Amino acid sequence: MVTSIRSRWLAGGAVLLIISALWAQSRGTSEDESAVRALIQGADGDNKNATKARQYALDADWTNSFGERLHGREALLQKFDQLAHSTFYQAGRDAPDSDKVDVRFVRPDVAVVYEYEEVVGQVDPTIRKPMPPRKIHHQYVVSKEHGKWLIQSELIMDEEHFADGSSE
């Protein structure tokens, strides 16, 4: 009887050990999480647009909050160059302490990233009047390719509230 109980405890412990190892593997390392966060934080350097475009996979998908969908790094480079000359885009600044990033690994080499930011200072190009602060949500799918994290897909959404306060 004691042997039977001991065997059950050992078998149960082994199952828990295997489950914890699998769960830990799917979480990614702290180094990978730091690398993913750095990737999302943006580009630096002399040619920020080219650097930012290189953060995306060659065949990345990108959809902005105005419904424009692009495919591929070359299209993104052209878009980022266009935005660099857009007074609407360039006038915007992140509100202090508004940037929030959550990283969730679905596999050690794939993560889904959520980012929230508030952008202030933009002027509506159609009516040339200041816009209210934009509450922007980004969802990224990133993967580790040959040791480097790349953005595979980005979806950008502006938060809007209905005039009556509902969110249906």
The residue assigned the tokens 């938060």 is 159
Question: What pLDDT does 90 receive?
Answer: 80
**Percent of residues, the chain, with pLDDT higher than 90:** 49
Q: Which residues of the chain have pLDDT under 70?
A: 1-26, 43-48, 161-168
Give the pLDDT confidence of 6-20 residue by residue, as tens digits: 555 545 544 444 444
**Distance separating alpha carbons of residues 72 and 1, to the nearest angstrom:** 65
Question: Which whole-number Å values give the CA distances from 14 to 6, 23, 24, 27, 161, in the listed order?
Answer: 12, 14, 15, 20, 51
Q: What is the pLDDT at residue 17?
A: 41
Q: Supply the pTM of this predicted model.
A: 0.76
Q: Could you give the domains of the chain?
A: 2-158 (3.10.450.50)
